[in-house]
Amino acid sequence: MATRRRPLHQNAGSRLNFRPQESYSFEAKGRKPLPEPSSICNVLLMMVLHVCRKTLFVDTSIKVAVYGGCLFLLSLIADILPFPRSYFSSSANVFNVYFVKLGWGWTLLVAFPFLILTSYTYCCGKRELVLKHLMRLGISTCCWFFWVNTFSYIESNYGRCNPKKHSSKSVCLGAGGSWYGFDLSGHAFILIYSNLVLIEEARAIIGWEGIRDLIRNEEHARSNSDASVSNSPLRLLTEVEFLRLKESYQKFTPYIRSLFIGMTTLSVLWDIMLVSTILYYHIMIEKFISGAIAILMWFVTYRYLYALMRNLPGEGLFKYRDLNINRSVPLNKRSSSTSVKNDIPRFMGMPLYAARNVEEESQQNEDQSSAVKTQL
């Protein structure tokens, strides 16, 4: 006779209705605000900026070595085997007349407003700090003025006239003679020095797009008293400084992007005109000495003086460059959380928002779990 089978979960109801005597509760943190969706125009703009970064931010040490090699080897070849004449071989070409001869003016035209707008933003409106950053262009202008006039003085006072009737350049040329002096290339100096200054000043835009995320998260943290972003670079800013940062970033970023594109375009033009100068103007020694002086001035100021003064581009009241990568810690010694954070997929150097938000949510869940364990 078949026996009646017992239910598999005889006391399922009682177990489901069981409640612990003590209930544990914790305050859940709200999610961080998500970034606004990007439009097609913004995506295209980011692509253009990415190309500009790749074009402008070549390793400066490599670029300086290329400059030195071209000034020596290519100039030497041009002296021995003259290159065929072209549009750029004429000093009357439009790029030489309207750009190179006014080279430092064009450099200041884009670098000056870029420096003002960027420094005002990351210095949170502190005018004394903005003036300190502006001092770099003042020193660079003095270097340009001193060396260009020095080159002209050497060429005018250390030469000879053909015929040898006259001892000064002005009298010689006025009498229809030809003056042969040691004509150090002012164009080579201006083009190389301007390009190196543009590269250094443009470095303030590295990590610039990430400031938007810092502002959004910091604003959320301050309004919700969220301590999970206590390691934010903006945590030490006062309320006034934070509001100035937010306002100036939103107001000036479109102009900063446009100026950065202009700086990249000008840098490419300076490189093209430098090749033209190497191929068609002056002799090798005149160009090499001028280029060496330009490189020396750049090294003394940006690699030594400004670094010693802590006055490099991008140094303000908070740090925003290379925040996601801890280069001082070896890869095999980094924690798993750091590795996961640094492995976020990126597009053109910027972290993908979806992947970053997933990582932030997982971090919040870990914080909540640790809070529960603490109370247990």
Evaluated on CA atoms 102, 107, 110, 113, the torsion sign reads negative
**Average pLDDT of span 14-25:** 49
Residue 341 confidence (pLDDT) above 50: no
Q: Give the pLDDT confidence score for residue 273 in this predicted structure.
A: 95
Categorize the per-residue pLDDT at 38 as very low, low, confident or very high, splitting at 50, 70 and 90: confident
151 domain-assigned: yes
Q: Does residue 196 lie within any of the structural domains?
A: yes
Q: Which domain holds residue 349?
A: 335-367
64 and 138 inside one domain: yes
* pLDDT computed for residue 322 by the predictor: 67
Taking the chain, what is the end-to-end CA distance rounded to the nearest angstrom? Answer: 52
Mean predicted lDDT score pLDDT of the chain: 81
Predicted local distance difference test score (pLDDT) of residue 128: 95
Say whether both 314 and 346 belong to one domain. Answer: no
Active-site residue, selected from the candidate residues 9, 133, 166, 187? 187
**Rounded distance between C-alpha atoms, residue 153 and residue 182, angstroms:** 10
**Residue 297 covered by a domain:** yes
Same domain, 361 and 239: no
224 pLDDT more than 90: no
Is the pLDDT at 23 greater than 50? The verdict is no
Same domain? For 239 and 359 the reply is: no
Shared-domain flag, residues 284 and 362: no
pLDDT at 169 over 90: no
Q: Do 255 and 363 share a domain, yes or no?
A: no
**Least confident interval from 3-12, 78-87, 150-159:** 3-12
User: What is the number of structural domains in the chain?
Assistant: 2
Q: What is the pTM of this model?
A: 0.77
48-73 pLDDT per residue, tens: 999 999 999 999 999 999 999 999 99
Question: pLDDT tens across 41-52, in order?
Answer: 889 999 999 999
Among candidates 234, 217, 209, 237, which has minimal Cα distance to 360? 217
Q: Does 250 reside within a domain?
A: yes
Same-domain check for residues 194 and 233: yes
Closest CA to 56 of 252, 260, 275: 260
Statement to judge: residues 303 and 346 lie in one domain: no
Our answer to whether residue 133 is catalytic in this structure is no
For this structure, is 166 an active site residue?
no
- pLDDT confidence of residue 94: 92
22 located within any domain? no
The string of pLDDT tens digits covering residues 342-364 is: 444 555 555 544 444 545 555 55
CA dist 249 and 339 (Å) reads 30
Mean pLDDT, residues 301-314: 93
Interacting residues of 30 by C-beta distance below 8 A, sequence separation 6+:
220, 224, 226
Domain membership of residue 6 (yes or no) is no
Same domain, 214 and 340: no
| Residues 79 and 164 placed together within one structural domain of the fold | yes
Question: Quick one: pLDDT at residue 228?
Answer: 62
Lowest-confidence region among 121-125, 253-257, 295-299, 335-339: 335-339
Round to whole Å and give the CA distance between 356 and 317.
Answer: 26
Catalytic residue among 133, 166, 220, 282: 282
DSSP 8-state symbol, 256? H
**Tens of pLDDT, residues 264-291:** 999 999 999 999 999 999 899 999 999 9
Residues 98 and 62 in one domain: yes
Q: Is residue 9 part of a domain?
A: no
Residues 6+ apart with CB under 8 A from 319: 233
Categorize the per-residue pLDDT at 329 as very low, low, confident or very high, splitting at 50, 70 and 90. very low
How far apart, in whole angstroms, are the C-alpha atoms of residue 164 and residue 178? 10
Beta bridge partners of 178: 162
Mean predicted confidence (pLDDT) in 198-222:
92
Does 19 score more than 80 pLDDT? no
Residues 299 and 159 in one domain: yes
Low-confidence winner among 10-19, 101-110, 178-187 (lowest mean pLDDT): 10-19
pLDDT at 68: 94
pLDDT classification of 337: cutoffs 50, 70, 90: very low
Q: Helices 239-280 & 186-202, crossing angle to 10 degrees? A: 150
pLDDT of residue 180: 77
18 in any annotated domain: no
